[in-house]
């Protein structure tokens, strides 16, 4: 993790700002549909 970032070409540390922690990356759950296919073993997985 960097303790700085650039804003309009200037590092935030030049303004006396330091990054102490970054937010967690939030990802939505994967949407999948499981379909049973007659005559076949297992299921067909369809992703959106």
Q: What is the pTM assigned to this prediction?
A: 0.40
Query: How many domains does the chain fold into?
Result: 1
Lowest mean pLDDT among 1-5, 16-20, 21-25: 1-5
Helix (H, G, I), strand (E, B) or coil at 32: strand
**Residue 1: inside a domain:** no
Q: In which domain, by residue range, is 38 found?
A: 6-47
Angle at 29 between CA 45 and CA 24, to 5 degrees: 150
Pairing type for strands 43-47 and 32-36 reads: antiparallel
With respect to residue 17, please indicate whether it lies within any of the assigned structural domains. yes
With CA atoms as reference, report the closest residue to 35 among 22, 23, 24, 44. 44
**For residue 34, is it within any domain?**
yes
Does residue 48 have a pLDDT over 90? no
Q: Is residue 14 part of a domain?
A: yes
Residue 22 inside a domain? The answer is yes
């Amino acid at each position: 993790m960097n303790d700085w970032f650039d804003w309009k070409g200037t590092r935030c540390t030049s303004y006396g700002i330091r990054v102490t922690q970054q937010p967690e990356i939030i990802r939505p759950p994967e949407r999948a549909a499981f379909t049973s296919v007659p005559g076949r073993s297992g299921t067909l997985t369809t992703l959106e």
